[in-house]
Each structure stands twice: as C-alpha cells, then as structure tokens.
Structure 1
Amino acid sequence: MRDLTLLLLTLVALPAVFAVKSHDFKTCSQAGFCRRGRALAERAKENPSWKSPYSVDPSSVAIDSTTAAFTAGVKSSIYPEVKFGLDVRVHRDGVVRVRMDEIDGLRKRYDEAASWALVAEPEVSQDIQWTVAKDAVRAVYGDNKDIEVVVAYEPLRVTLLRNGKEQIVLNGEGLLHMEHFRTKEAVEQEKSGWALPEAPEEGLDLDDAQVVMQMNPRSWFEGAGDDALWEETFGSWTDSKPKGPESLSIDVNFPNHGHVYGIPQHATRLSLPTTSGEDAYYSDPYRLYNADVFEYLADSTMSLYGSIPVMHAHSADSTVAIFHAVGSETWIDVAHPKPSSTHTHWISESGIMDIFLMPGPTPADVFAQYARLTGTSALPAQWALGYHQCRWNYISSDDVRDVQTRFDEEDMPVDVFWLDIEYAEDHKYFIWDKKSFSDPVDMMHDVEEIQRKMVVIVDPHLKRTDSYPIYQQAKELDLLIKKKDGQEYEGWCWPGSSAWVDFFNPASWDWWKSLFKTVSDGDKWAWTESTENTYIWNDMNEPSIFNGPEISMPRDNIHYGGWEHRDVHNINGMLFHNMTTLAVMHRTDPPKRPFVLTRSFYAGSQRLSAMWTGDNLGTWEHMAVGVSMVLSLNVGGFSFSGSDVGGFFGNPEPEMLVRWYGVGAFSPFFRAHAHIDTKRREPYLLDEPYKSIVRDILRLRYSLLPVWYTAFREASVTGLPVVRPHYVVFPQDEGGFALDDQYFVGGSGLLVKPITSKDVTETTVYLPENEVYYDYFTGQTYRGAAKGKNVTVPAELHQIPLLIRGGSIIPTRERPRRSSPLMKYDPFTLRVALSTGGTARGELYLDEGETYAHREGQFIWREFEATTEGKKGKEIRVRSRNLAAQKPGEAVDGVALAAYDDKNDFARAMERVRVERIVLLGLAAKPKSVKAAGKDVDWEFKAGAAAASKAEGSASVLVVKDPHASITSDWDIIIQL
C-alpha cells in the first residue's frame, strides 16, 4: 500500500511543484450553471427592454404581527406554474434579511447554510412598520428614520436606501433566476417545441434576440439547448446531477459605491478588479469553491482554499455590505458601469436566496453588523501570537530538539514547533511513527520546559484499514460520507485509500472530541501520546482528494440529511476545524483556549480557528499578494490569518527571506513553513548580516505582542479587524480606498508598509491626513496633508517602514525572551507620540493568556493618555486610568464591565509589573522638570532637528526612566516645559 501511495503522489502531487495545473480546475465556461448564468446576463445586456420575470403577488402580501416579517408569494411570468416564497425582515441593528425559496417544489432546496454560519438566530426588530401600497412594500427605520427598504412588486426588486440614496439593489438588472426542480422527461417534452423562430422579415424594427425573447421567452431565458442540466463531465469525471438544474442567480448592485472588497479567498488586490464590461481586468468571475490549488497564481480569480461570501462596498459617503448565506460553488462578476458605482452578479450552483443587507453606514458599523451575524474572531491564547516554526517535515524527535536548541543558541524567540504528516505511521493520524518519533511525550515535555508549545497535523482523510482504530470506529458508527448509491465513499489522499467523516452528522461530534483526550476512559481510544500543550493543524479539509474531480469530492456524494456534497461543499471544511477546536478545548478541565489552524474555511470560521493562505510560492509576487490576501480576510471577518513566511514552495534567496520575515512579523498569524523538497531555511541558518536582521525582526514582533493582543481583544468584541486597510481607518479619504500594500495594526496608530520587492532602499508611504507621523525606530517625522500625501521613507534591508501616527501611545515589552510566556512579568515601555495638538492616547489589555479566566473578570484594561495643559501649553500630563471603569455598558468577551473589579486576582498578581520607561516624541521644548507622584524622576532629553522642507525632520525625544508606575494602577506624570 505504501508503494501505491508513493506512486500516486508522484503522479498527482509532484508536478505541482513546477506550475499550477490550471486544467485541473474549472473556469466559468466549463461549469454549466455559471455558463448559463453568464449567458442570461449577456442576453439581458443586449436587450434594454428586458425586465425580470419575477414579481410579487400583491394578493399574497402579509405582515407577521409576531416577527414583523413581510412575506409574499412570488411568481414568474415565464414559469407561472412554479411558486416561490419571499421573506423580508429587519433585524434590531438595521440589517435586512431577504430570503426566497421554491414552494411546494418537486424537491427541497438546501436551506441550512445560514444555520452553520450564524452565531445565533438574529433578533428581529419589533418596531418596524411596513407600509403596503399597490406597487411596493416599504419600511422606514433607524434612529434618524434615514434608512428605507423597498420591495417593488413588478418586477421584484429589493432596494436599501439611506437618506433617499440607493445603497444596495437586488435584481435591479433583472438577473434573478432560481432554476426550479423538474424532471428530465418534462423538460425534453417542453423543449422539443422550442425551435428558434426564423429571422424577422425585412423592415421589422426588432433584432433577432428580441424576437426570440418575445416569441419564446423560456428559450430566451434559459437557452434552447440542454446545457449540462442533467449530467456534466469535466476531464474524466461525470457529475450525475440526480436533482437536475437548481442554480440561483442574483444581481447585487451598489449604485453609489465605486469600490468593493471581500469575498475571500482570492489572490488579487484588496479593491476587487473588474471581471465584466469593456474594461474588465479579468475574464473569469471570482470563484468561491474551496479547492486545493498547488502553487496558485499570484493574480487570479481562481478559487482557493476557503470561501466567505461577504462583500463590502465603499464610497466617501458610506460603507455597506452583503452576506449571501450559500454553501455551494458560487461565481461573482464585478463591473463598474461608472467609476462611482459597482454591479455584481452572483451565480450559485444550489441553495436558496438568503442575503443579509448591512446598512453601515461606517466601516465600523458594517464590521459590527457582520459580527452579530457570524461572530467575532476568538480571543486567542497569547502564545499563539508569537513566532511559529514549521516545515514539511521535522523528521524525528531529535530533529525537533535540535531545532529548539539552535533557536536558543542564537537567542531567537519562538513559541511553537510544528509537525507535518510524516510524524504519523503510514499517515494514520494520532498514531506516531515510532521509528522516527520513539518518545513523543518526552519530546513534547522538552519543548514545554521553556513554556513552548507543539502543533501536530490531523487531516480529515482516514486510512481505510481495520488496523487503524479511528477508521474502524467511524465505520462501525456509520459516520462516513457516502457515494450516491449509499455505499462508503473511497478516495485517495496521503494514506492511499481513504474515507472521510461526515461532520454534518451530529453523531460524529462527541465521538471526534473524545479522540483527543489525553487520558484513556475505560476501553475507549484516547490520544495518550500527546499532552495538553499539543495543538492541532487541520489541512486538506476542502476536502482535498487526489483522484477526485478538481482534486476534491464528487458533488453527488451524500451527507447527513440526504444533502449532496454540492450543497455543502464550501461549509464542509469549517465543520472539521470547528469540531477539532471544541475537541482541543475540552481535553483540559477547566478548558484552555484552543489553537487550531485550518486551511479551508467559511463564514463563521473566525469564531474558533486561525487560517493561513495555503501553498504559496517563494516569489516576490506571492509575498506581495499575501499582504492583500490577509487584508481581504480581515475585511471578511477572519482576522487570525497569515501567509507562509518564505513561501511553501521554492528556495528564497536571503534578501527575499529577510523581507518575508518583515511581512510575517506584521501579520496576525506569523509562521514560517516550507515544502519537504526545499532546503532547510530556519532563520538561524542564515549567514550574517541576514541572521541578525531576522533576529531583530523576531524580537520586534515579541516586543509588540501587547499591541497585537490588545488589537485581538478589540476584534473579539467589536468585529473590527486586527489589521486595517486605509478605507477602514479613514473612510472619507478617497486616496486610500485602493491601498493594500500598507495598513494599520488595530487601533494602535502603527502604520506599516512591508517591503515586497527586490533591491529596495527606500519606499513611499501614503499619509492620509494633516498629522505628524514618527518613524518607530528613529523618531524621524513626516507630515501628511489634508487631501493625503506620499512621503519617502528609508527601507534598507534592515529597515521595516513602520510609523507611529501622532496622537498614539504604544505599549511594548523590550526584554528579549525565548518565548512569550516568559515575558509575563516583564516591565513595559510606553512610546508616546504627540499629535500636532499635543495629545496622545493608547490602550493595553492583559489577561492570563491561556485559560478563560478573563470571562470571570480576571483581566487588566488600561487607558494611557497624554494632554497639553496649563498656561500656553507649558504642562504635559501623561496618565494611566482603568478603562473598564469608564465603560460600564460594554463587555469584554461576555463579561459585563459594570461588574468589573479592578482588584481581581490577576490584577493583584500583576501589581509588581511596572512601566520602566516612557519615551515621549514631539515635545516643543526641553522640560524644566518631570515629576511622578510629586517627586522628581530621572529623564533624558534630545532636541529634534527641523528639515529644510518643514514637513520632515527628527522629533525631540524625552526618555523618562523608571517613573515608579505600576501597570495596574492609576498614575500621573507631569512634565513642565
């Protein structure tokens, strides 16, 4: 069996090292339902008189007095015998949910996608008053009564407006089409009479297409031929399509928004380029179909490993968004009829229309609205924000020990070591290959001795052999995915012949969680050869199947409830990592915060996991697109994301590797990873000066961990992303709407522009406002402008362009340690960057970092503030205050701050942690005195120097030494000028 597996890998996987095999994956023209949807759009475009055949039946309009939902029957003039139902309701936060489904059809459409994505059933507003008229139903709502939703009857059209201005329009172009269920025989009988009419007689003022539309609307609407309605082939695979055609198309337009973002995951720019229209940048729509794409292109609409069907639309006036809860393959066209408007066309293989309209009007409002739907990013364990070292594969226990030793010898911090698939005997996950890993628990204890962790891969494919207890149990419990004939599905992956657990089956959940227990419970299987500090990596969960269509699972496979794989494909990977996360969480008592990395994901994945962008290449192009991909994922609600440092494939030169560490250090998830065929490239193997530069980058990441952790706390509460594009921070600055090569870290005021090109010695950074920005390392000042300005900053190989926005306070920990838990009691440095108005502000959130004790109020949340006071601004006051006490109406991860006790056990344990240094940038003059608690403290001052341009120079620097300030208490430091 091993020989057969190796042969299979040689034939299937190894060619991917040289180039992406695009022929393994469909284009829109090769997907019947996408082809049909796009053809309808083209026909509609060519016929200005076309209007949608779908309309509301006025006699069916009803307002539910309990749910305040508007419901109605929908009919199609082309298919009058088919019934549809429309349900529109407004949530308490103003989000509008629009659902449409086929009623009393031949079969039931898949309608459960939202149940997997939503964190809870949304609360419907009881204050909505629907006004029913002859031609429409409408509701006006909002605190200022500025939002209106209008459902027009004929044709059916749903519009969200703010202050009378259209924000989102559904079916404005008339492309709504829900392919109803039918039998092949009925269609063949009907279409036998669908012969196209002859060309019109001379003089008739209609073109051929219009004649077809009028004389034979069904033929015009669906096309006259049998275009993959009942069976579809791709390569050597045939999809039997037992239910026939069932696709859903809908145009979603943003008439007053010229930029759209989101729908991750694609390797492209943040502001999505066009795919249709005369100026289309791409020829194919954006595809959402979770797929294992080896060495993916660095500029493409190809689907990748995950799918989040959420899209933001932005203008200087407002931000809005939509979330389409559909789990099947979906293609999305993007066009800009005008620079200030965007048209999109969504084409899905199956499912109902279930669209959430988020009215904004600010980016922060949209993030909060989406978070209330699908949840926020989980607050991770603090160590998970450190540096992760991985490759395919560390080959033995001694290899892991040696890597750890080398990191320590070179004084390089690291928190986590990873093991890929070769740790497992014959790729039977949970079972160690004792030839190489003879003492796995001892190895893990050696890593844990320095408070580090290990991550071990567990993939979803189970080797089909009775000698593998996991497979044997899953088979006996009837938990495996079935073929269309009801028999166990067999595919090929790393172990050879494999089976897959159906996590849509609730019976699989407790069973899967039980496998991760470290202590045996009677005769039940347990992973006794692991520890509580062993965390999990879920790969290949798209699912990736080497001998399957598009390297995945046949669409006519059957899941729990009788649903076909086509219905749930994009959700499948999320259920796997969700169950793994719950398993890791409950292997300890009390539970610790889990860490699970996933490659495949869907809307809601952010609640439980981290992700990475898959099998990238060691090229400058992939380094650059990785930055915009991570920003897009943050826009899509999945903050805990990153790309493989160094690229998974290839052998990057030292310059590239150094620059990639600069990218990774400013990604939420920071991991180096490499293919089994690459040369070893652990950072300690670099020659000088590269090794020392990377060491400094790693130490920089660790010094900024308080900033990252505070940003994650905010993301876990508000939904705001951890890394923020310019349009999120400055929503009215048009100069920043398309920027995706520089960004802000949380709300800290740190602006970073990673270098992703070769031989760079300087770069330009865009400053969006008339404010001073300081170089993080040197104090060099740069001044923006009211309408935005580009400034030139140094970017030699040892330099990362990192600026502090004036008005920010950055808390750091500067003591080099071998891992982040060893920093727990280290003192803090505060960098106070004064604004042009002489003020600054920052936050710091701390908790124990591994358990859920913070949910019991065990945390510290401080606000730091600098103000200019006194006559003629001669006094600068820097203070620390308990931020939780100022926000009694808010919560931190479920803890009501009204009940917060600033003398909680964690805070008392941290009382001895002090602020050892305050670095204040931008004082106008040398101080006369610096006092803390009425007593003089030591300080040093270095005057700044103005530059000839008056816009740049070096800031003055005041260093206050040991101001006797605890991180847990209130204090004031007074600087007299």
Structure 2
Amino acid sequence: MRSLNYLGILSLLLGVPTHSLKAHDFKTCSQSGFCRRGRALSARAKEAGEAWSSPYSLDPSSISIASNQAIFIAGVKSALYPEINFGLELRVHDDGVVRVRMDEVRGLRKRYDEAASWALISEPTISSDIKWTAGKKDIRAAYGPKKENEVVVTFAPLTVALLRNGKEQVVLNGQGLLHMEHFRTKTQEVTHTEEAAPQEGAEAVSDDAQAVITPTNPRAWFEGDKEDDYWEETFSSWTDSKPKGPESLSLDINFPNHPVVYGIPQHATRLALPTTTGESPFFSDPYRLYNADVFEYLASSPMSIYGSIPVLHAHSADSTVGIFHAVASETWIDVGHSAEKSTETHWISESGILDLFLMPGPTPEDIFKQYSRLTGTTVLPAHWSLGYHQCRWNYVSSDDVRTVQKRFDEEDMPVDVFWLDIEYSEEHKYFIWDKKNFPDPVDMINDVATLGRKMVVIVDPHLKRTSDYPVYQAASEKGLLVKTKSETEYEGWCWSGSSAWVDFFNPNVWDWWKSLFKTQQISTWSWTESTNAVHIWNDMNEPSVFNGPEITMPKDNIHHGGWEHRDVHNINGMLFSNLTSQAVAERSEELTRPFVLTRAFYAGSQRFGAMWTGDNLGTWEHMAVGVKIVLSVNIGGMSFSGSDVGGFFGNPEPEMLVRWYQVGAMAPFFRAHAHIDTKRREPFLLEQPYKGMVKDILRLRYSMLPIWYTAFRETSVTGLPVLRPHYVMFPKDKAGFDIDDQYYIASSGLLVKPVTEKDATEAKVYLPEDQVYYDYFNHHAYRGAANGKEITVPAALHQIPLFIRGGSIVSTRERPRRSSTSMKADPFTLRVALSRTGTARGELYLDDGETYAHRAGHFVWREFVAETPKKKSRTLRIASRDMGVARPGEAVDGVVLKAFNPANAYAQSIADVRVEKVVVVGLNSKPKTVKVEGGADLNWEFTLGVAAADKKEGTASILTIKDPRVSVVKDWAIIVEW
C-alpha cells in the first residue's frame, strides 16, 4: 500500500525509491554473490560431465546409531578442506518422514540453526521400528508396513536417497552440488589439496592477505578461481558488510521419477513450476524465496514477493513425494525437467544449516498430513471471517465508516467486516487514533458491532521514532528494537517517517507486545480505545523499509542472540503476525478466536491467521495469476488466503470488477481492497446490471458459508488444503497435472472454474472421471469420461462455472441476511447430487464460531448419506448421523477429544434449527412416496429432466422436499420410494 505522491516526496528528500516495479529495485541471481557462486558451481559440474565428483564424503568409522536405531550420526569431510569438520544426522520419524541435518562442527562461528524451531509445532516423534544396516559403501534402513520405504546414505561421494519399492523418490547430492561454505578469517591462507578433482599440479598462493586460486587448483575446479563477494557486497547504493564472510549452502535435490513439481510459494507463476534451466528455460532466473515488498509485481515471474515457504511437492502418476527445507535466509531454487520423467532442483541459501525433511507420501493426501504434523494445520478461523470484507486505503473518518455500513444495508448487501488502513492513526503511530477524523473510535466500533459486524485495523511493524509515542518509547527503553551492525538502534524509513523495528526474536518482547492490545489499562500503555470487535491487519512485515536495500532491512542488522538479519529474514514477518494473533486472542478474559491478516509469512504461519497476495494490479492477468498464487499457498499449508478483489491498483471496468467478485467469492479469504488514489468502488456504487450481479455474488458466498466452514474444519484436522488443485484430487490423471485454472473446495464436491478473461461468454472445464457433474445453479448434468473430458459451459457475465460432483451432499443457508452473525439460527437446505450409481454423502460442521468451546467438544458434526439400502431396491434413503460419535478420538482444531457428547451445550443451543429443504438431483424417475422414516408423508415436487444421473447430458431430474422438519442436530432418515 503506497501513495505515489507521498513516496515521490520521500524520493526527492531522502532518496527513497517510488515503488512502481523497477527491475533495479531487486536483485537478480547474477547480482547476488552467493547465488552467482551457486549457479557457477552448477555450470562447472555440467561442463565437467562425468568427471565431476562431489568432494564430500562420510567417514564410516564415525558412524553412531542411537539406541532406538532411528537416529544415525556421522562425520563428514570435504576433500577440498580436510581441516574442516561437518556433522551429518538422519532421523526417521514415526510417520516415515526422514530428517536430514548437516552442520559445520567446531567451526570458527556457529551457523544459524533455529529456523525449524520457529516452524515446527513440536519435536517430531522418532520411529521405534528402524534398523540401520551398514555395508562397505553405504548405510541403509528399510521401514514402513511392508518395508516399502528405504533411506540409503552412500559414503563417497556423500549422497542421501529415499526410495519406495526400490525406486528412487528423492536424491540429495546426486549431481554433486552440495557445498557448505565453511567459516574462515579474512586473512586465512588456503591450504592445498589434490583429492577433489582429477587435475594435478595445483597450487594455492596468498596475495594481499586473500586467497587467489589458480585454475589448476582443485578448489578452483570446484569453487571457482576467485573470491566472489565473500566479505562485502554492493547493490545499488548499499553495501552489505558480511562480517562472517561466506557461509552459503548449495544442494541439489532431485526427483528421478517425478516430472512435475509444485510449491515453494510465493511466486506469481503457474502452479506446476516452469523450468529455470536448460536450453530453453521458461524463466532465466531461479525462483527466489526472500520476503520482499514488491510493488505492482509482475504477473509472471520467479522473483520473490511477500512470503516464503520452502516446501515442494514432486509428482507423478505413481506417487507424490515432498520436501521441506527449514532455512530462513534468502534462497534461490533452480528447477529443471528432464525428458518428461524427472525433475532436478538446485537450492542455494545464503546462510543456515542443512535441515531437510523428506516426506515419502506416497499420495498428495499423505504429504499434506506429513507436513502438517511438522508445521501444524490452518487454524479454524472465526466464522465471521469467512464472510465478505470491505476495505480500501483509506476510509477517512468515523462518519465514512458509518456511511459505508449504511449503504450496504440500504442496498441489502451482506458484509461482515470493515477495515481501516494506516490513515486512522495519528501520524502513523499505530494504536493511536487520529482524533480529528476519528474522534469517537469506540462508539464507531460499537456502531459496527451492534449490527453483528467486526472491524479490522492495521498495525504495522515500524514504530515512529518520536518521544510522544509511548509504544516506541517503551520499546526503546526496554531494549526491544532491532540494532545495526554497530549495536545501535536501527533507524529506517517507512510510513511513520523515521522508524524503528521491534525485534520479535527477543523473548522479552512477547509479553510486552501482548500487553499493548489489552482493552483495559494493565501497564504503562494499553489500547483502551479498542474492543473485542477489533481485529488486526499486519502489513509491511517483510519488513518493508523504504530506504533500505531491496526495500527491506540491511542484512547485517542484528537481532536477539547476535544473529544477523540475513539469517532470519524470511521468519521475521511470521513472528510479528504470530505474536499479534496471540495478543488479540488474549486481550481480555473472554477468549475469542482472533483474526489476523499477514502479508509476509513462512512455514507455520498457517497456525495463526490469513494471508493475501499483496499489492496486485486491476488487470485481467493479475486476476488470473491470483488464482494460481492462492492455489500455491494452499499447497504450502496456508489455506486461509485470497487476493484483493478488484486489484489494489487501478480502476477496473465494471465487467472486470464483477468477474473479480466471482473469483473472490470462491476463495477462502474474500476481501475487496483498493489504493488511496483509486476511485471509490464499493459494490453499491456500481450501475445496474452490475450492481445486481455483485449483490447476487455476495449472497451466494453467504449461502455457502456452511460449506466453507466445514472445509476449514477439515483442513484444521487433516492438513489437506481448502482449495485443491487437480493433481491433489486425481493424482493419477496425467492430463490434469498442469491444470491450475480450476479447483475443488475441500472434499465438498464443488468444482470451480473462475472466469478471468474479458468478454467471455463460455468456459472450458475439464472433467477427469466417468462421473456426472451438475451445474450448481440450473442442475444441468454434464458427463465426464474415464480418460478425462473437456466440456464447454455457458459463462456469461452473470454466470459462475460452479459444479457439484455427483456423489456429493452440500449444506447451505439460503435466507439473505446482512451479516453471517444474523444467520446463526437459520434453517438449512441440503443439495443431494446423486452419483452415476445413485449414492451421495457430505458433511456439515457447526460450532459457535467465535470462542474455543469447540475444543472442549461443543460442536455439531453431521454426516449426510444417500444410498439404496438393498441391491436393486426401489428405495433411496437420505440419512443424517453424528460424526463426533462415529469418529471418537479424532482431533478437532488440533485437540484430541477423548469423548464426545452429542448433547453438548452448543448442540442444545441450536436444537430448534432444522433442515427446511432437501433438493435431490439426478433421480431416474418420479417417486411414489416421500416420507420421514417412521413418520408421515412429506410435501414434495418432482421435475423430470432430460438426463438421469447415469445416462446422457442435459437437465437433471429434481426432487424438492419441502420443510421435512428434521433437526440439524439429530439422527433422521427420509425415505424416497418409486
């Protein structure tokens, strides 16, 4: 969020760039010393061909195996530097994940090794079913129910391979690109060795106290013939002092039998990652993971944007395997595909240890579960946060907020949340209201809350450096701020002007930060002009520094523990939002679920809130790539995600805005947002027919809230994403590996094809199976095929290609309301979409939507089933049963319930909520009777379609059962007989 006028002034006065995207604002690999060195290493290996060999080897005599057999430790040497010691450790977890760690041992300094401690929810449980067997050339262990998994460590050269049924899944250092640059002194003279390469007669000399390596030197053969930005690096007008010298980590991670890879968000590109290497790369630079404030980012680029999750899925029709590399420093990743069979990746990180988790799968579902056991699942959000959010930079006053709310109600458009950007605060001193424009903040908040709505207010990580700002003063006096390389308080420039940054790596910060959000005075300063109806937006937390290198903090800044910013950069933003989430949850005695939106994120951020895709443009290209980015971050574990509806920049034409509302309504996080210089574009300002279209879209979203909330319960338990691309749903269908413009909503059976092209009147949809798919709105039946089939469907501007997969039952609430909180007692409609065999199932999850009572078992979790009790029976039985009782001991939002009482307090509170309508789609013929099992006949209507569930395409038959008066919390059955 940038005002170009404001930044223009900053640029003139301070030399701060005005950030429309300029290539020179951000590094390419060739401008980054360690990336350049890593890529050069790869180039030398490729040029050497079969003569290339890794200098790293394992010393078999150093092998130590823990008593439980699951932990294997050994020493590693580099033939280039025999005086340097490395340690290798492998652990096999009880779910089959293999953790591979390598660090320098007894070095001059300590490498940063704490990234995993921030990402993991706990130390993983080690397997008790492992036995290592050492041979002359390797050591290996087979495990799994049928010993189908095997991990093999080869001694010389060192490689680590994960196999399944004898087939290689992941290979580390198979190309010999492993290189952990060891710590050294700047005046250190290189010692000659000849063991790493076939060349002879090499020598090393010292010149001006720095190593100069001749081309015949083995080290030159491996590392290059000169020191390349080892001790200092300049980019534009900034110089990085690099006091620790070179410490980068290079590693090739290859997937010999997997042709497609997904993940490593966040990048604006296709879901199936295009190649960055070879003769005709799609991108010339590697993918970069380095949280950055990229203003107006490109719609197709490997450059980093706001978040970084170093997790990758490699996929084939036979299996899926995953890796998670717990590294927090800047990382570049080259991706290459070979002969449509394998994938080669090269990871180059600036600092840190090798801490790699190999996830064996073998299915996408298994990978998600394995990853979520490591880093946690998406937290079950507050129900209201799944509604519609209205935001812009900026609503300028209390009266502006009230007027916008009034207009929504006058137009009968639902909305749950109103947002305030940076201008609410006095001189951008967050927590402090600008009383000129917001003279009555608590009254304003209460006016919104009275109608069942919430507010979200921005709190950025930079603190204005002024004596009249108590938050800054306290942080400075307590020593809680990030420091420069000289150990003085770091000063940079952001919205507040001269600013300082809280160091969230300092444990002394945590309780202090939480105290700021208390709504009652408990310390020197608390946010008493706030209420529990206010939630928080954390922006600019990459961190964004207007006058810093690459618009961020200098890498040689110092955090708690003496770690440089380069070591922790990608984690920095996560800690800010994580602590904010905890602060909002704990701000009063009445614990309620917080909503915190973050722009920067890392592995594990999903445990604390939502993210959005940042400062996008109001273009068709950005609308389309936003869908792909959201799918990608879902792959990375962050299901609660979305893009700014309408684009942050620009003034989209009405057609584009309608399409963008359709995209937003079918995303987990649904928010409209706009730049301060854009025209006001609240949906009630549109002319007809566009206003009516957007109103219908908003109402559709609210009717589907039970579907979205049930989807979030599922992901909070299983780790499976809310939005599921084709390869997750149909992992063996090769035709769908590259599909990233349609997706499924969890296991609801809903298939979405967003329309992101101008003037579209129809859309092409891929159906992957021999199953019927029904149009959500008119129940037209489309038939897939066993080998996949592309269909063309109507997609005029008022139409959303949305389908119910045959075999699904979805629950909706169809009564229009002003907000989600007004719907809590509303009845339900069940859509029963029969499969080609005449069956269907679905789930519905409910709780109070705001507190943590569900963790104590206060919820309703129902399963709906439609089936024929007996073979060739002329009866369809539609039944409801309790899932909490059916699955005792299953975790709910991370808490395992030892017992479940279906008559819990919440269930009793909605005992009168009923199912008011059941719509059965796809019956073969008109029923004779429809009644509640053990009860009287029901009122129903039947419309005969031209296509049955198991026959040709066309309008399906519809049975509408009116008000069966069955409870949503009770077991019941409806019997349909022919």
Same fold? TM cut 0.5:
yes
- The residue matched to 1:568 in structure 2 has which SS? helix
Quote the residue 2:706 is aligned against. Answer: 706
Quote the residue 1:205 is aligned against. Answer: none
Shift of 1:278: 1.6
Shift of 1:885: 1.2
- Tell me if structure 2 keeps the 8 A contact 1:67–1:124: no
Q: Aligned AA for 1:719?
A: G
Q: Cα 1:6–1:218, aligned 2, differ >3 Å: closer, same or farther?
A: closer
Quote the residue 2:362 is aligned against. Answer: 361
Deviates more, 1:729-738 or 1:615-624: 729-738
Quote the residue 2:136 is aligned against. Answer: 134
Shift of 1:951: 4.0
| Equivalent-residue separation in structure 2 for 1:25 and 1:595 (angstroms) | 32
Q: Are 1:75 and 2:54 an aligned pair?
A: no
Shift of 1:736: 1.0
Q: Percent identity?
A: 70
Q: Cα 1:834–1:447, aligned 2, differ >3 Å: closer, same or farther?
A: same
Runs of 5+ in structure 1 lacking a partner? 201-211
| Equivalent-residue separation in structure 2 for 1:483 and 1:56 (angstroms) | 40
- The residue matched to 2:281 in structure 1 has which SS? coil
- The residue matched to 1:357 in structure 2 has which SS? strand
Q: Cα 1:695–1:296, aligned 2, differ >3 Å: closer, same or farther?
A: same
Shift of 1:894: 4.1
Quote the residue 1:300 is aligned against. Answer: 301
Quote the residue 2:781 is aligned against. Answer: 781
Shift of 1:340: 1.5
- The residue matched to 1:336 in structure 2 has which SS? strand
| Equivalent-residue separation in structure 1 for 2:306 and 2:201 (angstroms) | 48
1:918-937 paired onto structure 2 within 5 Å: 918-933=918-933, 934-937=935-938
Quote the residue 1:796 is aligned against. Answer: 796
| Equivalent-residue separation in structure 2 for 1:782 and 1:233 (angstroms) | 60
Shift of 1:189: 9.0
Q: Cα 1:638–1:213, aligned 2, differ >3 Å: closer, same or farther?
A: farther
1:17-166 paired onto structure 2 within 5 Å: 19-48=20-49, 49-66=51-68, 68-166=70-168
- The residue matched to 2:512 in structure 1 has which SS? helix
| Equivalent-residue separation in structure 1 for 2:839 and 2:17 (angstroms) | 58
Q: Cα 1:10–1:859, aligned 2, differ >3 Å: closer, same or farther?
A: farther
- The residue matched to 1:958 in structure 2 has which SS? strand
- Tell me if structure 2 keeps the 8 A contact 1:5–1:495: no
Quote the residue 2:208 is aligned against. Answer: none
Quote the residue 1:826 is aligned against. Answer: 826
| Equivalent-residue separation in structure 2 for 1:9 and 1:845 (angstroms) | 52
| Equivalent-residue separation in structure 1 for 2:889 and 2:146 (angstroms) | 22
Q: Aligned AA for 2:184?
A: R
- The residue matched to 2:583 in structure 1 has which SS? helix
| Equivalent-residue separation in structure 2 for 1:625 and 1:94 (angstroms) | 35
Shift of 1:103: 0.5
- The residue matched to 1:82 in structure 2 has which SS? strand
Shift of 1:469: 0.2
Deviations 1:904-947 (CA, angstroms, capped at 9, x unpaired): 01001111000000000000000101011331000001000149
Q: Cα 1:545–1:188, aligned 2, differ >3 Å: closer, same or farther?
A: farther
Deviates more, 1:415-424 or 1:126-135: 126-135
- Tell me if structure 1 keeps the 8 A contact 2:17–2:546: no
1:681-830 paired onto structure 2 within 5 Å: 681-830=681-830
- Tell me if structure 2 keeps the 8 A contact 1:4–1:496: no
Q: Are 1:943 and 2:944 an aligned pair?
A: yes
Q: Aligned AA for 2:626?
A: G
Q: Aligned AA for 1:517?
A: K
Shift of 1:457: 0.2
| Equivalent-residue separation in structure 2 for 1:400 and 1:295 (angstroms) | 27
Quote the residue 1:387 is aligned against. Answer: 388
Quote the residue 2:232 is aligned against. Answer: 231
Shift of 1:952: 1.7
Q: Cα 1:723–1:213, aligned 2, differ >3 Å: closer, same or farther?
A: farther
| Equivalent-residue separation in structure 2 for 1:163 and 1:291 (angstroms) | 42
Q: Cα 1:504–1:940, aligned 2, differ >3 Å: closer, same or farther?
A: same
| Equivalent-residue separation in structure 2 for 1:6 and 1:719 (angstroms) | 44
Q: Cα 1:818–1:4, aligned 2, differ >3 Å: closer, same or farther?
A: closer
Shift of 1:591: 1.1
1:574-973 paired onto structure 2 within 5 Å: 574-870=574-870, 872-933=872-933, 934-946=935-947, 951-973=952-974
Deviations 1:89-144 (CA, angstroms, capped at 9, x unpaired): 10010000000000011111000000000010111112210001111110000011
- The residue matched to 1:326 in structure 2 has which SS? coil
Quote the residue 2:470 is aligned against. Answer: 469
| Equivalent-residue separation in structure 1 for 2:433 and 2:69 (angstroms) | 55
Deviations 1:371-409 (CA, angstroms, capped at 9, x unpaired): 000000000000000000000000000000000000000
- The residue matched to 1:899 in structure 2 has which SS? coil
- Tell me if structure 2 keeps the 8 A contact 1:213–1:220: no
| Equivalent-residue separation in structure 1 for 2:154 and 2:199 (angstroms) | 33
Q: Aligned AA for 2:509?
A: S
TM-score, structure 2 normalization: 0.96
- Tell me if structure 1 keeps the 8 A contact 2:201–2:216: no
| Equivalent-residue separation in structure 1 for 2:14 and 2:878 (angstroms) | 62
Q: Aligned AA for 1:617?
A: L
Quote the residue 1:209 is aligned against. Answer: none
TM-score, structure 1 normalization: 0.96
1:407-556 paired onto structure 2 within 5 Å: 407-521=408-522, 524-556=524-556
Q: Cα 1:89–1:668, aligned 2, differ >3 Å: closer, same or farther?
A: same
Shift of 1:12: 8.6
Q: Cα 1:388–1:10, aligned 2, differ >3 Å: closer, same or farther?
A: farther
Q: Cα 1:752–1:962, aligned 2, differ >3 Å: closer, same or farther?
A: same
Correspondence for 1:179 among 168, 181, 201 = 181
Q: Aligned AA for 1:352?
A: I
- Tell me if structure 1 keeps the 8 A contact 2:781–2:947: no
Shift of 1:21: 1.1
Shift of 1:869: 3.6
Quote the residue 1:167 is aligned against. Answer: 169
- Tell me if structure 2 keeps the 8 A contact 1:887–1:898: no
| Equivalent-residue separation in structure 1 for 2:936 and 2:368 (angstroms) | 46
Shift of 1:183: 1.2
Q: Aligned AA for 1:159?
A: A
Q: Aligned AA for 1:530?
A: S
- Tell me if structure 1 keeps the 8 A contact 2:724–2:746: yes
1:257-296 paired onto structure 2 within 5 Å: 257-296=258-297
Runs of 5+ in structure 2 lacking a partner? 203-212
- Tell me if structure 2 keeps the 8 A contact 1:213–1:221: no
Instruction: Count the aligned residue pairs.
Output: 960
Deviations 1:724-744 (CA, angstroms, capped at 9, x unpaired): 001111111111111100000
Deviations 1:564-619 (CA, angstroms, capped at 9, x unpaired): 00000000000000110010000122311010000000000000010000000000
- Tell me if structure 1 keeps the 8 A contact 2:915–2:964: yes
- The residue matched to 1:86 in structure 2 has which SS? strand
Q: Cα 1:694–1:13, aligned 2, differ >3 Å: closer, same or farther?
A: farther
- Tell me if structure 1 keeps the 8 A contact 2:859–2:907: yes
- Tell me if structure 1 keeps the 8 A contact 2:889–2:899: no
Q: Aligned AA for 1:908?
A: Q
- Tell me if structure 2 keeps the 8 A contact 1:884–1:897: no
Q: Aligned AA for 1:688?
A: Q
Q: Aligned AA for 1:864?
A: F
Runs of 4+ in 1 over 6 A off after TM superposition: 2-6, 9-15, 188-191, 196-200
| Equivalent-residue separation in structure 2 for 1:224 and 1:382 (angstroms) | 60
